[in-house]
Each structure stands twice: as C-alpha cells, then as structure tokens.
C-alpha cells in the first residue's frame, strides 16, 4: 500500500501542529501510525543551515516535501505542518509526494496574532526579528482547491480533527478499492 502526505498550510498560529498532533493521537488509538513533520522542528535539524529569505524558505519546504515523499513511498502517513505561502511551492510538494491531501488551515491573521504560541508575531511587531514574516511582510497565497478546509477560529480542534480523519479514511479506501 502506498502512503499519503497530508500537507497543512496556513499562517503561523493557525493550529496546524495542534491539529496534526490530535490526528496522530486519534489514529494511534486505532493502531495507525502517523508521522508529524512540524516546519519549525524540521528547521532545527534538516534545515538548520537555512535562513528565511524566499529562496531559503522554498529550499526548506522542498526538503520537507522530499522527506514526505520518502515516507509516502514506504506506505507511511505523514502530516507536514509548514506555512508554505505560495501555490507554486505547494504544487511542488503535491507533485513530489504523489498521494497528497492539501489541508487549508484557515484562521484570520488577527486571531493567529492573538494566539501567537511561539511569540513570532510579538517579536516581528516589536522589530526584534528582522526576518521576513508570512502574513506581515510576505504575502500568503490562499490555496485555490484544497482537498480539505478547516476554519480554526470557528471550529474546535476536535471538529477539525474529525473532518480531516474522515477525509483521510475515505481517501485511503478509494486508493485501495479504486
């Protein structure tokens, strides 16, 4: 069986990693293993040599997509939690991984700034962080045709989790039974 990459895209603080970990936990209860690749965590190892310029961001996302491809080809389920602000870079990930589910984790920037779990927005607004930042100095291109959309400012983590798991199970069933 071929695996699948679930690609979460959205602003920092939109809930990508929180939902991914919730999915991982729920599916573990059914003995289904899911690997979560959080963009910030991957940056600390696989991409620690990269900064935040557009070219470096794209290289980082390309690396995440390439790891997803390896896991997917081995039959694994992987969730990539990366802002991936451009349609072009998300299209690269889709083509690279093969079996691909794009999830638009929607949340207004103002809500993401209020949540700010890693203090990114606070540092950017205080000018302590001069790096370009998606949503503030770098535009975010909304996905045009994602397979799943979750509105994290209107839905609970549990509702978002269930919506994605339902889609995933239907997707995997179709893959197996054509």
Distance (Å, whole) CA 27 – CA 31 = 6
The pTM of the full predicted model, rounded to 2 decimals, is: 0.91
Pairwise pLDDT comparison (98 vs 178), residue with the higher score: 98
Positive or negative torsion for Cα 128, 85, 57, 55: negative
* Mean pLDDT along residues 68-90: 95
Q: Which of 22, 53, 84, 110 is catalytic?
A: 84
Q: What percentage of the chain has pLDDT greater than the value 70?
A: 92
Closest CA relative to residue 69, chosen from 103, 92, 49? 92
Bridge pairing between strands 34-38 and 4-9: unpaired
All domains in the chain, ordered by first residue:
4-177 (3.40.50.300)
Average pLDDT of the chain, as a whole number: 90
Task: 151-155: list long-range contacts, CB under 8 Å, 24+ apart.
Answer: 151/106, 151/107, 152/10, 152/14, 152/15, 152/19, 152/105, 152/106, 152/107, 152/111, 153/106, 153/107, 153/108, 153/111
The yes-or-no answer on residue 84 being catalytic is yes
């Amino acid at each position: 069986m071929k695996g699948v990459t679930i690609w979460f895209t959205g602003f920092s603080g939109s809930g990508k990693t929180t939902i991914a970990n919730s999915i991982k936990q729920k599916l573990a209860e059914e003995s289904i293993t899911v690997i979560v690749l959080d963009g910030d965590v991957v940056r600390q190892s696989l991409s620690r040599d990269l900064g935040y310029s557009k070219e470096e961001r794209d290289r980082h996302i390309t690396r995440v997509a390439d790891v997803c491809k390896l896991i997917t080809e081995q039959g694994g389920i992987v969730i990539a939690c990366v802002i991936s602000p451009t349609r072009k870079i998300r299209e690269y990930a889709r083509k690279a991984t093969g079996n691909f589910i794009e999830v638009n984790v929607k949340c207004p920037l103002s809500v993401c700034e209020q949540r700010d779990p890693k203090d990114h927005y606070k540092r950017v607004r205080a000018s302590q962080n001069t790096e370009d930042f998606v949503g503030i100095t770098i535009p975010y291109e909304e996905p045009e045709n994602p397979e799943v959309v979750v509105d994290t400012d209107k839905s609970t983590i549990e509702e978002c989790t269930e919506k994605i798991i339902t889609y995933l199970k239907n997707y995997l069933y179709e893959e197996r039974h054509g």
